Structure 1
């Protein structure tokens, strides 16, 4: 082959014309030769295990495609996948409690929900904040029926106690005329 033939061969392959090779020059890796050399270099790089070639026929222990039966690698329904995720992390009770917080008005009634809001839930104790001391007293009287409703929603024995807190009150502990052991104003704020 002459150097003119070498130029024609590169033009036919769709690449830019290469400079003609001299007869004493070694073959320059282009195209497929370059890709093979890169693959060999990647396989020989540190940190990657070398592939072992066996003389026996190749056996597959793990299939790469799904067969006729359902498999974990098949596309899953979102509901089933989320259910497994929630169960694996133990989030069932937390999600149920947050669902109760979101549907508080539906569960306890709109009148109670207008004046009482749930604040936290831990160890069977639900903390509820009211907007007046009168509603705090009313909710303390209604607590057994509210606990029953919540336990039907969350599961028996989930909520054991409702801890009712009144409204956040201003402090009277500041100023030069404050009394250290005084009981403060005698108003119920509501």
Structure 2
């Protein structure tokens, strides 16, 4: 027997007791949970990337974006080597750059071609100074040695009229 001071509990909402129009109204207003609304709520997740005024959402300059892209892609060493070639006149000096040019880079060795053998020999004497300047300005380039070569000379061993063997020297005798 219920206590006289105790309030009777309200009966749970029975769909059969509530008219269909009111049940539809409550469901559409979101006052009554339905299986469909539960699925919608469960599927929606908090996306921190699209929240306005969140950290990291400030606009960035194109230079910053490109610097991040090259670093993440691993292009920094190759770009630093290209910078050495592009700025050779600043690294070696204007007078030296007029008579030399970088021609190759392989296994940490930068190859420089000079106009004459005299310039190549002079640069060999300045090797430590030039290498330290490259390492100071472009440490990411990975230049560990500098090689100086003279001008290209014609070779009798290559070309359209080349024959196998010793060539014209074997006809004397």
TM-score under structure 2 length normalisation: 0.62
Q: Which has the larger radius of gyration?
A: 2
From 60, 66, 72, the counterpart of 2:51? 66
Superposed CA deviations along residues 41-91 of structure 1, whole A, max 9, x for unmatched, are: xxxxxxxxxxxx83415253143843222345x643212211211111111
Contact 1:116–1:128 (CA under 8 A) maintained in structure 2:
yes
TM-score (ref. length: structure 1)? 0.57
Contact 2:115–2:151 (Cα < 8 Å) also in 1: yes
Q: Which runs of 4+ in 1 moved over 4 A?
A: 173-177
Q: Conserved in 2, the CA contact under 8 Å of 1:118 and 1:128? A: yes
Aligned residues: 127
Q: State the Cα deviation string for residues 129-167 of structure 1 (Å, max 9, x = none).
A: 111111111111111110011110122893221111111
Separation (CA, whole Å) in 2 of partners of 1:69 and 1:128: 51
Change (3 A) 1:69 1:156: closer
Residue matched to 2:110: 126
The whole-number CA distance in structure 2 between the counterparts of 1:179 and 1:140 is 35
Tell me: higher relative CO, structure 1 or 2? Use CA pairs within 8 A at least 6 residues apart.
2
For 1:156 and 1:82, locate their aligned partners in 2 and report how far apart those are by CA, in whole Å.
17
- 1:1-190 mapped onto 2 (5 Å cutoff): 54-56=36-38, 58-59=41-42, 60-63=44-47, 65-71=50-56, 75-155=59-139, 158-173=142-157, 178-179=168-169
Gaps (5+ residues) in structure 2?
Answer: 1-34
On the 8 A contact 2:85/2:102 being kept in 1, the answer is yes
Cα RMSD, aligned residues only: 2.8
Partners of 2:94 and 2:78 in 1: CA distance: 24
Kept in 2, the 8 Å contact 1:126–1:159? The answer is: yes
Between structures 1 and 2, the one with greater helix share: 2
